[in-house]
Amino acid sequence: MMKLPDPVQKVVDNLSDLPSIGPRQAVRLAFYLLGEKKESLRVLAESIDGLRGIKTCTRCFFIHQREGDLCDICANPARNPRIIMVVEKETDLLSLENTKKFTGRYFICGPIPKTGFIEPWQKTRLESLKRHIEEGLGGQADEIILAFNPTTLGDFQTSLIMKELVPLAKKISRLGRGLPTGGEIEFADDETLGSALERRG
Amino acid sequence: MMKLPDPVQKVVDNLSDLPSIGPRQAVRLAFYLLGEKKESLRVLAESIDGLRGIKTCTRCFFIHQREGDLCDICANPARNPRIIMVVEKETDLLSLENTKKFTGRYFICGPIPKTGFIEPWQKTRLESLKRHIEEGLGGQADEIILAFNPTTLGDFQTSLIMKELVPLAKKISRLGRGLPTGGEIEFADDETLGSALERRG
């Protein structure tokens, strides 16, 4: 590749480091940015730099910008603190929250490692959840929902985390399995169809 | 969608404005950035802001960082100034330059409008090319290569620009048409196969 001016190459490198952005897309984006007004570049740069001010909720690990330690959801007295949905990542929380069907609290466990086993840093997070349930909820939540992706990896980690959390909740549940709305029976895989049959009702 | 903290929403909006980045990818990228070290955020932001210092070559409109007005290629005495390749955009120049088979100069005409017609701002660029050929090359280049995409739109604009440039070059050429290396005859479209036959040799 022809040598680009250093500042441009730097942007290309930084953009390539982002997930789901390949080297060619990074070059295209950099040239798109070069064609932008100088003011837009400043605005984009400042907005990215502004992320440095965002805090993490000490209870559920979601992001927030409030005065105290807790995020909007954990600080909201209208949300049932005794029902906790454990999710892998922030974007999963957003999708679930979007359904407007859940009025409990969340707990972000962090991205599942490729091995599926619980890593030390996840262990630390789970310890903080246990501590919260012991100190804040008298030792047992009413329900813990393990909401990981319905994949081999997600199922594996679900089974490991379930063992850890069994003593901490009256009920442990998982998200329902079955046909996705809009899906077609003809094209559903055996697993999905099997779940749909088992859980019919 | 659940309301995100303003600084996060701002990044999502700014990223969504970039070409080829959809709203969902923008959210994912923003959360990825939130998980990055504060130092990496500063580095990314500063690199984007650093693009403001990049200049545009007054002759060919490619980017550069040199002291004077000209880019590395236009300022390079080893490049033949009498052969000019007209391209649509910077990334096309990079791809062509990458072949290491061209030792002339370039001229960036700018993205082809959806209508295919020559817009006033392209007209202005072409005028500057004409002026350069008149003042710098005595009125005629040895060759002008029109290197637009081999699409309906690219071919249409090529024909329009060719009319403008005919008096300014001893020879006007276009990139060769035929089978792409690695392609299969069985799957080539009629146009491509026709070109490959016509231009066999």
Residue B65 to residue A89, Cβ atoms within 8 A: no
To the nearest 10°, report the CA torsion of A23, A29, A32, A36. -140
Which residues on A lie below 8 Å from B57 (Cβ)? Answer: none
Q: Which domains does chain A have, with CATH numbers?
A: 6-53 (1.10.8.420), 55-174 (3.40.1360.10)
Which residues on A lie below 8 Å from B8 (Cβ)? Answer: 51, 54, 63
What's residue B198's pLDDT? Answer: 83
Residue A47 to residue B89, Cβ atoms within 8 A: no
What's residue B25's pLDDT? Answer: 93
What's residue A29's pLDDT? Answer: 95
Would you say residue B1 has pLDDT above 80? no
Would you say residue A1 has pLDDT above 80? no
Q: What is the mean pLDDT of chain A?
A: 92
What's residue B192's pLDDT? Answer: 87
Residue A33 to residue B51, Cβ atoms within 8 A: yes
Residue matched to tokens 């005065």: A67
Mutation target vs A (from B48, B65, B72, B73; most A CBs, 10 A cutoff): B48
Adjacent-strand bridge partners of A107: A86
Distance from the Cα of B115 to chain A's closest Cα (Å) equals 21
Neighbours of A101 (CB within 10 A): 7
Would you say residue A196 has pLDDT above 80? yes
What's residue A68's pLDDT? Answer: 94
What's residue A191's pLDDT? Answer: 85
Could you tell me the pLDDT band of residue A186, with boundaries at 50, 70 and 90?
confident
Could you list the beta-strand ranges (E) of A46-157: 55-56, 63-64, 80-87, 104-108, 141-147
Residue A25 to residue B28, Cβ atoms within 8 A: no
What's residue A184's pLDDT? Answer: 85
pLDDT per position as a tens digit, B97-147: 988 899 999 999 999 999 999 999 999 999 999 999 999 999 999 999 999
Residue B11 to residue A47, Cβ atoms within 8 A: yes
Name which of A58, A56, A59, A61 is nearest A81 in CA terms. A59
Adjacent-strand bridge partners of B169: B141
pLDDT per position as a tens digit, B33-91: 998 888 999 999 999 999 999 999 999 999 999 999 999 999 999 999 999 999 999 99
What's residue A198's pLDDT? Answer: 83
pLDDT per position as a tens digit, A149-184: 999 999 999 999 999 999 999 999 999 888 888 888
What's residue A49's pLDDT? Answer: 94
Could you tell me the pLDDT band of residue A103, with boundaries at 50, 70 and 90?
very high
Would you say residue B201 has pLDDT above 80? no
Residue A6 to residue B97, Cβ atoms within 8 A: no
CB-nearest to A7 from B45, B51, B89 is B51
What's residue A159's pLDDT? Answer: 94
Residue A63 to residue B19, Cβ atoms within 8 A: no
Could you tell me the two tokens for A65?
């910008």
Residue matched to tokens 């290491």: B100
Could you tell me the two tokens for B45?
């932001």
Helix (H, G, I), strand (E, B) or coil at A59: coil
pLDDT per position as a tens digit, B172-183: 999 988 888 888
CB-nearest to B49 from A8, A32, A41 is A41
> How many residue contacts between A and B have a Cβ separation below 8 Å?
136
What's residue B184's pLDDT? Answer: 85
What's residue A2's pLDDT? Answer: 78
Name which of A29, A28, A38, A49 is nearest B51 in CA terms. A38
Q: What angle do CA B131, B136, B142 make, to 5 degrees?
A: 95
Would you say residue A197 has pLDDT above 90? no
Would you say residue B188 has pLDDT above 90? no
What's residue B127's pLDDT? Answer: 96
